[in-house]
Amino acid sequence: MVELATGVVFAALFLKFQNTFLFSTLSFTATYAYYAVAFSLLLVISVYDLKHKIIPDILSFGFGFLAFIGLFLFDRSFFPAFYPHLPSVAEFFYPLLIAICFALFWLISKGRWMGLGDAKLMVGLGWLLGFPLALSGAVLSFWIGSVIGLFLIIFSKKYRFKSELPFAPYLAVGVFLSFIFELHLF
């Protein structure tokens, strides 16, 4: 399943950036390599969360660092492309707003609704995609998680209302779909 998901991610990224390939091979190579590494790391985080129901700080902070570096290397104002620049102050701080919402879920529920690792991961996701796409990806992940969670509760004897479901895989899918299809829900 992991190999299939990786193949789908790499193929979707190529299709997304294929016009860049025709325009500038160097820009395509840098952009494709960066996003392939970022989404591969996100896949590792998702699989680890599925298996252990925790997101290790080393993976979350590593992903966040990679996304932070991308702020300086890729311009997301029109289309993600390799363009070294200084990002705006808003690009630094908007992802923190989304992460604060996730952290509030963790704080209010004392960790029963959501883990703090999801909030840490959301900072990196916000830096990777930018504010509007990251917000759309987060909302989409809640929708996908709700549908799958209800399906598991109804049709599985293992999962009940008090069961824990890891959220990182839903975040990864929601953010990936939002990125590939440029879903601006707001």
pLDDT (tens digit, 0 to 9) for every residue of the chain, 186 residues total? 999 999 999 999 999 999 888 888 888 999 999 999 999 999 999 999 999 999 999 999 999 999 999 999 988 766 777 888 888 888 889 989 999 999 998 999 888 888 899 999 999 999 999 888 999 999 999 999 999 988 888 887 776 666 678 999 999 999 999 999 998 887
Which residues lie across from 82 on neighbouring strands?
74
pTM of the model as a whole: 0.90
- Judged on CB neighbours under 10 Å (0-12, 13-18, 19+), 52 is exposed
Which tokens hold the place of 27?
A: 């820009």
**Closest residue by Cα to residue 45 from 175, 185, 160:** 175
Let me know: does 177 contact 137? Beta carbons within 8 Å. yes
In 24-85, which ranges are continuous DSSP H helix?
25-52, 57-73
